[in-house]
Amino acid sequence: MTDRSLRPSDPSFIGGHRLLARLGEGGMGVVYLGRTESGALAAIKVIQAEHAHDDAFRARFRREANAARRVDSPWVVKVTGADPDAEQPWLATAFEPGPSLAEAVGRHGPLPLRTVRLLGKMLARALTAVHEAGLVHRDVKPGNILLAADGPRLIDFGIARSLDDTAITSADLVVGSPGFLSPEQATAGGERLGPASDVFSLGCVLAYAATGRPPFGSGAVDALLYRAVHDSPDLDGVEEETAAVLLRCLAKDPADRPSAAELDAALVEDMPPGTAEWLPADVVRAVAERSAAMLALPEIQATLAEAPPTPAPSRRRFLAVASGGAAVLAAGGGVAAWAARHTSGSGKKQAAAPGWALGVQADLSGAGREAGQAQEQGARLAVEEFNARRDKPFTLELKTADDAGRAERAAAAAKRLADDPDVLAVLGSSTDQTTQAALPVYDAALLPVISMSAGQNLYQSVRSFVRGRPLHGTVAMKLAFHLEATSAATPVGVLLDRTAGDVSWQTIQMVNFIVRKYGDATHPRVVPAGTTDFGPVLKDMRGAGIKAFVYAGPLEGAIRAARGLAGFEGPKYAAEPALDPRFAAEESAAGWTVVATAIGPDAARVRSFAQAFRTRYGHAPGFWAAEGYDAANLLIHRLTATRGKRPTRKALVAPLQAATYRGITRDFAFDPKMLQLSTPASFVHQVRDGAFRYLGPAPDRAPQPKGK
């Protein structure tokens, strides 16, 4: 595997970018991965010093960098900065993780016809923008096309190519990549390359995408160059109408080829506004995996050397990973805790037959104890109501295990319940981290588990698990639907706080995808894990003219964001972790909206439960209490179906996964493959007068486009 780590000789900062890794190296310089202070990732190409001594080179660098800045297309990677006058000139572009078209086709095979035609339209529009800026790409090939859920990105254009091609007019120089070269490139005859050369290369790319092979074959370089000049392209397997368009692109005479704009018009395919669900599912998964890997980047460390200059804010197109199917809604993290007042007694095993008990694993003593205690209390109320029935076929007990919300304690807490022969099923745990740590213990014991909190799409391999809440990506999708249905404000600032890991990333991806799909602009930003000062990034976002704001991150970050946006009059939204009384108590949180899977304790549909809860505990239920009540009643429903005959844990797994149950918060039915709710529900809450007010269910589907 290629070593991407920085070397001792590499700088720490370039032009306000903190360098994180090496992306590549060539004869002209090195390409680094960097991050601005506001969290935007960038690819920074630094030219070697020996090339910088040429005044003509610097002048050309400056001219083409200015031209590259003028390229305006969502399908072209943005130039975010350049310094032709630096000791080592550099150019920064927005970073896109990929994969490349070459990787996608190599791993997953040819693309579907619709995908190829959409790819062609978007890349034709990209080339139109490049050509209108006075640039010629000169190296359109599968490796220079990165795939994202909302479309391709053409990289390494204009200035990037000219940097490598300082003798572009040399009569003996062949510029570009054999197999995707135009005849005029292949002959190196000294004639100036024009836009038609890029169109020929794009025709080669589309043929490759449709068939999985270059249209002029493979092999020795000289053979490839000869075929490009003299042979007909191999388009076997390409649909007839599309093949006719590609043949025009692959004409030997540049004058016979369509322009990029004409190619766009010739490729007839519906292009939904904003983003399009255009990639096959296996490629979508590859995009998601590559994007998720960005969460493993090293954090910005303190630098002992001189502090870097203040970076200029740069706009970065944030990758929107979403597309149809379960891979798009992969999301994570939640909160649903259950209490642990473990009654261990003497620890001696009793000779009596096992009893009937439900277990609750949760954070009762850590930072999430309010939610954990609420779920435990809701579950306990359900058990007590069952035991009060005269016709009950057995008496049920509730046993708890406190993991304090800490992953390192979760397995031990799970083992206490798994080792108790009375426990037939468990509710838990409170977070994705504790759930993930606990599930191997429950799975080994084939102890059925239902979680009302864990929203990560990571647990399908656990035999005894069902998820009683939507995936976090689904909740984020409904947040975006609510935003689109109730607000016309655009652009929407979206801030990803990496402190919350995958949960935040997947939430922002879905929001970004939906908002842009409806034709609204977004202004995405990222802050590294552990960031405590949101001032610079919020200043950048407000300076960019955002009219609405979405934050995805932990509770503490939501509080910082609310304080930092005090006085901002546009609509403000936060992800589920902000559904906490501590957030609502912040004066600056007034008016903020949170979409979460927990229903409001003041909702009409849970009114009877709330009254019973108040009678039992002497106070109103908190968030997640009704969910704990529902989960316990679902398990009781399955246990009573045995008509008093005590089941084994293993015998209870399949009936639980096939269960249907009408709860007070939602209807329960589980997808047999994903083991998650078939009809997930989420709810809208808004901060008013220092507390959350329940507004109702979040939209289950996209609103009609607003025509903005």
Helix axes 407-418, 432-444, angle to 10 degrees: 30
Asked if residue 661 and residue 524 are part of one domain, the reply reads no
Query: Around 555, how many Cα atoms within 13 Å sit in the side-chain half-sphere?
Result: 15
Asked if residue 531 and residue 586 are part of one domain, the reply reads yes
Which CATH number do you get for residue 155?
A: 1.10.510.10
pLDDT, residue 19, reads 92
State which residues form the domain around 653. Answer: 356-469+620-677
Asked if residue 477 and residue 465 are part of one domain, the reply reads no
Which CATH number do you get for residue 648?
A: 3.40.50.2300
Is the confidence at residue 420, as pLDDT, over 90?
yes
Binding residue per annotation — 539? no
Structural domain contains residue 337: no
Question: Stretch 497-513: mean pLDDT, rounded?
Answer: 87
Which CATH number do you get for residue 87?
A: 3.30.200.20
Asked if residue 503 and residue 391 are part of one domain, the reply reads no
Structural domain contains residue 606: no
Is the confidence at residue 98, as pLDDT, over 50?
yes
* Dihedral over alpha carbons 19, 528, 533, 541 (to 10 degrees): 90
Asked if residue 243 and residue 141 are part of one domain, the reply reads yes
| Single residue among 250, 272, 291 that ends a domain in this structure | 291
Structural domain contains residue 165: yes
Categorise residue 94: left if φ over 0, alpha if ψ from -120 to 50, beta otherwise: beta
| Single residue among 251, 275, 291 that ends a domain in this structure | 291
The Cβ of residue 672 has, within 10 Å, a number of other Cβ atoms equal to 9
Asked if residue 168 and residue 107 are part of one domain, the reply reads yes
Who contacts 203 (Cβ-Cβ below 8 Å, separation ≥6)? 215, 233, 246, 248, 249, 250, 257
Structural domain contains residue 6: no
In tens, the pLDDT along 153-201 reads: 998 754 434 434 433 333 334 445 678 889 988 886 545 689 999 999 9
Is the confidence at residue 319, as pLDDT, over 60?
no
What is the chain's mean pLDDT, rounded?
Answer: 83
Asked if residue 164 and residue 123 are part of one domain, the reply reads yes
Q: Return the ∠ at Cα 617 (arms to 615 and 620), rounded to 5°.
A: 80
Structural domain contains residue 210: yes
**580 CA to centre of own chain:** 24
Asked if residue 658 and residue 692 are part of one domain, the reply reads no
Q: Which H, E and C letters describe 378-436, residue by residue?
A: HHHHHHHHHHCCCCCCCCEEEEEEECCCCHHHHHHHHHHHHCCCCEEEEECCCCHHHHH
Is the confidence at residue 634, as pLDDT, over 70?
yes
In tens, the pLDDT along 253-273 reads: 999 999 999 999 999 776 544
| Single residue among 238, 273, 291 that ends a domain in this structure | 291
Is the confidence at residue 213, as pLDDT, over 50?
yes
Distances (CA, A) of 172 to 168, 187, 212: 9, 9, 31
In tens, the pLDDT along 611-626 reads: 999 999 999 999 999 9
d(CA 182, CA 250): 8
Asked if residue 511 and residue 592 are part of one domain, the reply reads yes
For the chain, what is the domain count? Answer: 4
- Active-site option among 139, 150, 422, 497: 139
Structural domain contains residue 338: no
Structural domain contains residue 326: no
The pTM of this model reads 0.57
pLDDT band at 204 (very low <50, low <70, confident <90, very high): very high
Asked if residue 693 and residue 549 are part of one domain, the reply reads yes
Query: Is-catalytic flag, 139?
Result: yes
Instruction: List residues bridging with 91 in a β-sheet.
Output: 45, 82
In degrees rounded to 5, what are phi and psi of residue 320? -100, 110
Asked if residue 426 and residue 286 are part of one domain, the reply reads no
Q: For 304-313, 386-395, 496-505, which range has the lowest pLDDT when averaged over its residues?
A: 304-313
Asked if residue 109 and residue 88 are part of one domain, the reply reads no
pLDDT band at 87 (very low <50, low <70, confident <90, very high): confident
503 and 333 Cβ atoms separated by less than 8 Å? yes
